[in-house]
């Protein structure tokens, strides 16, 4: 069963979850998506199965473009290199099932695309470089637990997967290059606070990890390259407004210093498309 955002079940059981399902996505290439230039990350929206994008050109965000329809109301968006070819494509997470656009046409075709099971209802999807080879792999966040497909098997295998604790119930998972060294680390967003695993040991350590304040309760976190510098920085999506930490100090300094972009509406789920040179 897929939860419907307007149903009593959704409102009663997952009202808080809707504000906790932003997936921070780095997309190197997607055939049906606007091609990201060296100018920085493209902002993306997932709305009841429809994907929209706002590309950047010359340091300025342009008019939104519709990418296509993949998924349905209640899904969570996900983007990854599903087959190890280096081509990043869209997909959705639906109560433990992943539907992924292998052929890259932004439309689900059961003859060409793939489905697999990893996680369960209520989990939040995440993607990162968990594998020894450095290839992207999937994972899910469940009330502070991270189930990571380190074996890149597209299924949970306790022998090869990684299970770590970082965060608590109600947190939103994020991933990014927190120290600028090109290493992807995990983190969580909690009502405007960012707990970032800067040292990469998958454990919160107040002495060596990073705690930042950016955003507020109900915001959805995003991570990307906001100025084409190649540096990954944080931001939040709030009912159609994007508050982006342009100067990288992990503090909102107003739209004269940082960047405020209007794109989307309440209920949308944000995603980020980042050029390869800025990939997390």
The Cβ-side half-sphere exposure at 86, using a 13 Å CA radius, reads 2
Please identify every stretch of the chain with a pLDDT value under 50, giving residue numbers as ranges.
1-37, 280
**pLDDT tens readout for residues 142-164:** 999 999 999 989 999 999 999 99
Q: Tell me how many domains the chain contains.
A: 1
**The pLDDT value given to residue 275:** 62
Q: Which of 169, 212, 237 is nearest to 24 (CA)?
A: 237
Cα gap 153→181, rounded to integer Å: 28
Q: How far is CA 22 from CA 25, 164, 221, in A?
A: 9, 20, 6
Q: Which of 79, 74, 108 is nearest to 94 (CA)?
A: 74
Cα gap 26→23, rounded to integer Å: 10
Q: How far is CA 2 from CA 18, 49, 72, 142, in A?
A: 14, 13, 9, 18
Q: In this structure, is residue 1 part of a structural domain? A: no
Q: In this structure, is residue 63 part of a structural domain? A: yes
Cβ contact 69:76 at 8 Å: no
Q: Which of 212, 207, 206, 209 is nearest to 249 (CA)?
A: 212
Q: In this structure, is residue 138 part of a structural domain? A: yes
Cα gap 225→234, rounded to integer Å: 9
Cβ contact 97:134 at 8 Å: no
Q: Which of 270, 277, 207 is nearest to 47 (CA)?
A: 270
Q: In this structure, is residue 25 part of a structural domain? A: yes
The Cβ-side half-sphere exposure at 228, using a 13 Å CA radius, reads 11
Could you write out the DSSP letters of every residue in 242-276? EEE-TTSSSS---TTTSEEEE---TT-EEEEE--G
Q: In this structure, is residue 2 part of a structural domain? A: no
Cβ contact 109:103 at 8 Å: yes
**pLDDT tens readout for residues 51-95:** 999 987 777 788 899 989 999 999 999 877 788 787 778 899 999
Q: In this structure, is residue 105 part of a structural domain? A: yes
pTM of the complete model: 0.85
Q: In this structure, is residue 3 part of a structural domain? A: no
**The pLDDT value given to residue 182:** 81
Cα gap 11→13, rounded to integer Å: 6
166: CATH: 2.115.10.10
Q: In this structure, is residue 44 part of a structural domain? A: yes
**The pLDDT value given to residue 277:** 53
Assign residue 90 a region (left: φ > 0; alpha: ψ between -120 and 50; beta: otherwise). Answer: beta
Cβ contact 244:259 at 8 Å: yes
Domain of 16 in residue numbering reads as 8-278
């Amino acid at each position: 069963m897929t939860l419907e955002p307007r149903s009593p079940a959704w409102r009663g059981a997952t009202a808080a979850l809707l504000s906790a399902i932003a997936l921070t996505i780095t997309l190197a290439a997607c055939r049906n998506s606007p091609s990201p230039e060296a100018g920085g990350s493209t902002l993306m929206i997932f709305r009841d199965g429809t994907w929209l994008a706002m590309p950047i050109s010359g340091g300025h965000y342009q008019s939104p473009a519709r990418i296509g329809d993949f998924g349905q109301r209640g899904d969570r968006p996900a983007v990854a290199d599903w087959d190890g070819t280096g081509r990043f494509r869209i997909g959705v997470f639906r109560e433990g099932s992943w539907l992924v656009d292998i052929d890259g046409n932004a439309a689900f075709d059961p003859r060409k695309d793939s489905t697999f099971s990893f996680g369960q209802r209520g989990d939040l999807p995440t993607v990162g470089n968990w594998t020894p080879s450095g290839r992207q792999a999937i994972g899910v966040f469940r009330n502070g637990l991270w189930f990571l497909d380190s074996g890149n098997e597209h299924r949970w295998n306790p022998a090869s997967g990684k299970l770590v604790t970082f965060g608590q119930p109600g947190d939103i998972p994020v991933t990014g290059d927190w120290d600028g060294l090109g290493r992807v680390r995990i983190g969580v967003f909690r009502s405007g606070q960012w707990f970032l695993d800067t040292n990469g040991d998958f454990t919160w350590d107040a002495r060596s990890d990073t705690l930042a304040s950016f955003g507020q309760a109900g915001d959805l976190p995003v991570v990307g390259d906001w100025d084409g510098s190649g540096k990954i920085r944080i931001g939040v999506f709030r009912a159609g407004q994007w508050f982006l930490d342009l100067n990288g100090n992990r503090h909102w300094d107003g739209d004269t210093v940082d960047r405020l972009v209007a794109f989307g509406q309440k209920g949308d789920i944000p995603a980020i498309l980042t050029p390869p040179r800025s990939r997390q």
